[in-house]
Amino acid sequence: MTELISIRDMPNEVKVNLLKKLGYKSDGIFVLKKNGEKFLDKYTEEPVRLDNMFIYPGSTIILDNNSLSISSFLEKYGDVF
Amino acid sequence: MSSEKDPIASVSKGATKGLLEWSEEKLKQFVKKFKDKNIAFIQDSKTIEIAKEQRKKGEWVFFKFYIKDKDLRILFQLGLTLRKLEKENKDVEPLKEKIIKKYKKQGLHIAFFVANGLFGKYIGNILERVPTIDELTGEINKLFQNISHTVAFINREDDIPQKTSEIIIKIQAHSPDTFIISGTGGAVSICDKIKIGVMRKISSNYTCEQHIAEGKKVKEYTS
């Protein structure tokens, strides 16, 4: 089982640094790909915001933390938490 | 002025404290744990807690046994989530918008069907006449693939004569075994008026049942 770490209190600078270490970037509002394009949630196809991220390990899945994306994730990957 | 009373100084102090708590060393440790697949990061764990809670419900356990379609399974879980959020008086509009954007109006109707507690009632109604697992699976799939043939969701803004006429046409066109007129809150009285109009036209073939669930009102017409 994977432990969930809350980043609610993580300052934005640290979130940007975290994304950098995982191979992504941020403009301070959105998660960006290496080429600077906005990173899109694979289920809603909407840009993922820095202040509402869910990041799962493995092939590093970054999602917007909303019910549709999370339920879709759990349906695909099972009860991993 | 002391820094304790200076709001700007306090905010600045808070930000510094936040940064210190997330030191470079601590972040490195987290990244290592992440790469070892031991941890995941989330802004607010409430979303996952709610999603997991729905996956433990009896309705979900029953549904997932019969239905393997990925999108239907997700919509079913989102229906249960909508019900939970509504019960807690939380804002359901952002989720409804996301469901419509991805699954269109039909997807939202499927989620509403579950959220309004209609799935259990519908299944209870058809269980007697579908003796096998395959038949029940077929009935559930048919229901969700053609949800607009079986259910009308009423809004308080709906035009009563127009909606009544639409429902009569649907019933006459598809002859469903069960047709449900569902409304909540301010739409309940609209449902009553629509029901009277519909029953005037179709009463020789259908009987009428009424269900009230947790403040919700459901009209059901069964042949």
Which of B41, B12, B9 lies closest to A9 in space, CA to CA?
B41
What pLDDT was estimated at residue B11?
Answer: 45
The ipTM assigned to this model is 0.96
A65 to chain B, minimum CA–CA distance in Å? 7
Q: Look up tokens 């693939």; give the residue.
A: B145
What pLDDT was estimated at residue B54?
Answer: 97
B29 to chain A, minimum CA–CA distance in Å? 11
Segment B147-164 mean pLDDT: 93
pLDDT at B1 over 50: no
CB contact, 8 Å: B78 with chain A? yes
pLDDT confidence tier of residue B207, bands split at 50, 70 and 90? confident
Please name the residue of chain A whose CA is at the shortest distance from the CA of residue B45.
Answer: A6
Interior angle at CA A76, CA A47 and CA B121, nearest 5: 105
Which of B73, B91, B119 lies closest to A73 in space, CA to CA?
B73
pLDDT tens string A7-48: 999 999 999 999 999 999 999 999 999 999 999 999 999 999
A57 to chain B, minimum CA–CA distance in Å? 5
pTM of the model: 0.85
The CA–CA distances, whole Å, from B66 to A2, B61, B126, B196 equal: 29, 9, 14, 36
What pLDDT was estimated at residue B79?
Answer: 98
Give the whole-angstrom CA distance, residue B7 versus residue B49.
35
Are A3 and B39 in contact by the 8 Å Cβ rule? The answer is yes
The domains of chain A are located at 12-77
Q: Looking at beta carbons, which pairs linking B196-203 to residues 24 or more positions away fall under 8 Å?
A: B197/B160, B197/B161, B197/B164, B197/B168, B198/B164, B198/B167, B198/B168, B198/B171, B201/B168, B202/B168, B202/B171, B202/B172
What pLDDT was estimated at residue B8?
Answer: 43
What pLDDT was estimated at residue B9?
Answer: 47
What pLDDT was estimated at residue B16?
Answer: 52
Which of B177, B175, B174, B187 lies closest to B218 in space, CA to CA?
B187
Which domains are delineated in chain B? Answer: 44-145 (no CATH), 148-223 (3.30.110.20)
User: Given the DSSP bridges, would you call strands B151-154 and B178-184 parallel, antiparallel or unpaired?
Assistant: parallel
A70 closest CB neighbour out of B30, B47, B70: B47
pLDDT at B153 over 70: yes
Q: Which residues of B touch A51 (CB under 8 A)?
A: 43
B23 to chain A, minimum CA–CA distance in Å? 8
Q: Which two structure tokens, joined as six digits, stand for B119? A: 């799935």
pLDDT tens string B17-35: 555 678 889 999 999 999 9
B74 closest CB neighbour out of A13, A14, A72: A72
pLDDT at B97 over 90: yes
pLDDT at B6 over 60: no
Q: Which residues of B touch A8 (CB under 8 A)?
A: 43-44
pLDDT, averaged across chain B: 86
Is the Cα torsion angle B200, B203, B205, B208 positive or negative in sign?
Answer: positive
pLDDT at B124 over 80: yes
pLDDT tens string B161-201: 999 999 999 999 998 888 999 987 788 889 999 999 999 98
Please name the residue of chain A whose CA is at the shortest distance from the CA of residue B101.
Answer: A44
